[in-house]
Chains A and B, each alone.
Chain A
Amino acid sequence: MKRNRPSLGADFSNHVFRILVFISAATVVLSLVGIIFFIVRESLPAMQNLGFSLFESDWYPTHWDASYGIGIMLVNTILIAAFAGGLVWIVGMVIALYLKEYARPKEREGIIRIIEYLTGIPSVVFGFFGIVIMAQWLLNAGAWTGLNFLNASIMLFLLTLPIMVSLTYQSLESVPVEIREGAIAMGSKPLGVMAMSIRVAFPGILNAAIISFNRIVGETMIVLMVSGGSNLVPQSFFDPFRPLTVALGSEMGEVELRSLHYSTLFLIGFVLLVFSFGLTQLSAEIAKRGERWLKR
């Protein structure tokens, strides 16, 4: 009997362990609270000073008559995320469908492995490729500058492709076999079955698109290196542009502490934070609805 009861030592270690795991979990929660608190606190002066003039188009933070309008950068961020995100969505879906519907098992394994290596490539390395190699090609192809919207789109496409393919593939994989078999039994051709599984997996596929969109909005190094950096709305694929994160990456190192410029940069950080919270919430909502939709 005595052996079955936890000894004093075991009881003690149990207790210490409980405290340790609790503290670790509390650290995670506190760091989220801290991130929100400090980003908001540092951006308050800019919020009060600028108000809605924040969304104007002139960004001259170091001019004697400084103006801090992030309007154009915001538009650029949305443009690049919509274009590169749309591109990666379509291509990612095609690859995932090919892997699911047509590829032989060995072939599938190989392709997934190759694309997975891409996941680990640091974004600065893509930026390096964009500047050193892709820009040269674009110049040779007749673009007036190598660092432009198209270059950034291609690099962001490569960055987000692996996550897009793997998430889309997973959601196609999770389509119940009964649904596919049911469609076949009703006389659907292979294309009909494919359309059916796309429809069932659609919440998951939409989620994958939102996650890649979010990645592109927040990505700093690639656009910092290959966007060209001019504060204009691009009129063609070969124009340089400047999304929000470029201002953070290029100006944060040189800004005077607690100045209005500094605070405005934090406000940009706050805008990015709001974007990411909103998109995460949206994707959680879609996942929840999707589950309900499948059960019905």
Chain B
Amino acid sequence: MVEAIIRNLFRFITYLIVAMVLFVLGYIVAPGFRYIFQQGFLTEFPRSGMTEGGIFPALVGSAFMVLLVFAISVPLAILASIFLSEYLKGRLSAIFQSICSTMTAIPSIVYGLFGLVFYCVQLGMGTSLLTASLSLSTMTIPFIVTSTTEFLKAVPVDIREAAMSLGASKFQVSIMVIRGAWKGMLTAVLLGMGKSFGETAPILITGTVFYATQLPRSIHDPVMALPTTIYAIVVNLGERSQWMAQGTASLMVIFVVIIYSAIQILRGVRKG
């Protein structure tokens, strides 16, 4: 009797929350959906105080930023995680791992502060695309290392031993291990990119502007980005600009759903 009550109560709460989640997702995507396909939304500059036109510069800025973060953080993170799983042993490995998990827990705004004082002021890069990308990379690298290492460590020891017994060097063994774990590593990289795509607080204070009339000509120019555009419109601008924030939010959620669907498909492949 009590058991049945508890079961039904738990079921009710679970389905209530799932319905709430779907409702929130739907309510973000649906109202803005039609603006995405409106003439010029993805290809025009914003006009008349962001009440007309499109979000082209923010789209380009975000794309550049994600590409730069990818180029900086993925090689470094993968090499660092190989160092962690293949070269370090025992205590040192545990220490390095705890350094990475400590860094994963640091709030993103603190990475923004670090980016501001180190890349922007100390190294003199100013408020720029480069500063923002470097700040995001500093945050993304330990995140990717932590999840990639798990997959590298899950590769059976037999593969390493077999390769070594054939006379393979450490380099060749590492290549074998990467081959064995590539699907997991791809998910880790996708997750990291998804995270840096949506991250707002650090780039808000290091490299973005709310309104740009031209595209950045080099990596030393500040840029517009999708998440900061949503923030700027919602907080600073009036009723007539809100549709642009709706369209942008809808677009970002669609991107996220695509990334996570890809991750779930990848995981399914691994199981089968």
- Which A residues fall within an 8 A CB radius of B? 4-6, 10-11, 13-14, 17-18, 20-25, 27-29, 31-32, 34-35, 38-39, 41-42, 91, 94-95, 97-99, 101-103, 111, 113-125, 127-129, 131-133, 158, 161, 189-191, 211, 214, 217-221, 224-225, 245, 248-249, 252-253, 257, 265-266, 269, 272-273, 276-277, 279-280, 284
* Cβ of B69 under 8 Å from chain A: no
B130 to A: closest C-beta gap in Å: 16
Of chain B, the residue at the smallest CB distance from A15 is B171
The complex places the Cα of A111 from the Cα of B15 at a distance, in Å, of 9
List 8 contacting pairs A-B, 8 Å CB cutoff, sorted by A. Answer: A5-B167, A10-B171, A17-B174, A38-B114, A38-B117, A42-B113, A132-B242, A218-B108
Give every chain A residue within 8 A of B214 (Cβ-Cβ): none
* Distance in angstroms between the alpha carbons of A211 and B234 in the assembled complex: 29
Distance from A280 Cβ to chain B, minimum over Cβ atoms (Å): 5
The smallest beta-carbon distance between B32 and chain A, in angstroms, is 10
Which of chain A's residues has its CB closest to B117's CB?
A38
Complex contact B141–A31 (CB within 8 A):
yes
For residue B118, give the distance in angstroms from its CB to the closest CB of chain A.
5
Residue of A nearest to B141 (CB): A28
Chain A residue contacts of B108, Cβ below 8 A: 218, 220
Interface residues in chain B, defined as those with a beta carbon under 8 Å from any beta carbon in chain A: 2-3, 6-7, 10-11, 13-14, 17-18, 20-22, 24-25, 27-28, 75-77, 79-80, 82-84, 86-87, 96, 98-103, 105-114, 116-118, 121-122, 138, 141-142, 145, 167, 169-172, 174, 194-195, 197-201, 204-205, 227-228, 230-231, 234-235, 242, 245-246, 249, 252-253, 256-257, 259-260, 264
B194 touches A14 (CB 8 A): no
Contacts of B84 in A (CB 8 A): 25
Question: Which of B18, B174, B201, B249 interacts with A128 by CB under 8 Å?
Answer: B249
Report whether B14 and A125 are in contact in the complex, using a CB–CB cutoff of 8 Å: no
Report whether A249 and B201 are in contact in the complex, using a CB–CB cutoff of 8 Å. yes
Instruction: Tell me whether chain B's interface is mostly helix, strand or loop, or mixed.
Output: helix
How far apart sit A253 and B171, CA to CA, in the bound complex (Å)?
46
**B227 touching A273 by the CB < 8 A rule?**
no
How far apart are the CA atoms of A33 and B177 in the complex, in Å? 30
For the complex with contacts A21-B80, A31-B138, A124-B227, 13 further pairs of A-B residues with Cβ separation under 8 Å are A24-B83, A28-B103, A28-B145, A38-B117, A114-B18, A121-B25, A122-B200, A123-B200, A128-B245, A248-B112, A249-B201, A266-B113, A269-B110
Please name all residues of chain B whose beta carbon is closer than 8 Å to the beta carbon of A124 when the two chains form the complex.
198, 200, 227-228, 230-231
- The distance in angstroms between the C-alpha atoms of A116 and B252, with both chains bound, is 16
**Closest approach, in angstroms, between the C-beta of B41 and any C-beta of chain A?**
17
Which of A25, A103, A121, A220 is the one whose CB lies under 8 Å from B256?
Answer: A121
Choice from A34, A103, A125, A277 contacting B198 with Cβ under 8 Å: A125
Is B6's CB under 8 angstroms from A21's CB?
A: no
Given A14-B169, A161-B17, A280-B102, CB of A123 within 8 Å of CB of B80: no
User: In the assembled complex, how far is the CB of residue A96 from the closest CB belonging to chain B, in whole angstroms?
Assistant: 9
Name the one of B27, B169, B200 contacting A129, with C-beta atoms under 8 angstroms: B27
Inter-chain contact total with CB atoms closer than 8 Å: 250
A20 touches B79 (CB 8 A): yes
Instruction: Write the chain A residue with the least CB distance to B88.
Output: A25
Q: Of the candidates B109, B121, B142, which one forms a contact with A245 in the assembled complex, judged by CB atoms under 8 Å apart?
A: B109
CA distance A133 to B50 in the complex (A): 21
A91 to B82 Cα, complex, angstroms: 38
Task: Kindly state the separation between the CA atoms of A8 and B242 in the bound complex, as whole angstroms.
Answer: 64
- Asked if B167 and A4 sit within 8 Å, CB to CB, the answer is yes
Contact (Cβ within 8 A) A122 B260: no
- A38 to B111 alpha-carbon distance, docked (Å): 11
Contact B231 A221 (CB under 8 A): yes
What are the residues of chain B within 8 A of A132 when measuring CB–CB? 234, 242, 245-246
Residue among A5, A125, A277 facing the most chain B CB atoms (10 A cut-off): A125
Contact status B169-A6, CB under 8 Å:
yes
Contact status B13-A245, CB under 8 Å = no
- Given A5-B167, A38-B117 in contact, is the A28-B99 Cβ separation under 8 Å? yes
User: What A residues does B17 contact at CB under 8 A?
Assistant: 91, 95, 161
> Separation in Å of the A260 CB from the closest CB of chain B?
16
Q: By the criterion CB–CB under 8 Å, are A131 and B234 in contact?
A: yes
Bound form: Cα–Cα A23–B259 in Å: 30
Q: Which of A34, A99, A211 contacts B14 (CB 8 A)?
A: A99
* Contact across chains for B28 and A128 when beta carbons are under 8 A apart: yes
Taking a contact as CB atoms under 8 Å apart, the answer to whether A18 and B170 are in contact is yes
Q: How far is the CA of A18 from the CA of B173 in the complex (A)?
A: 12
The reply to whether A129 and B113 form a contact with Cβ atoms under 8 Å apart is no
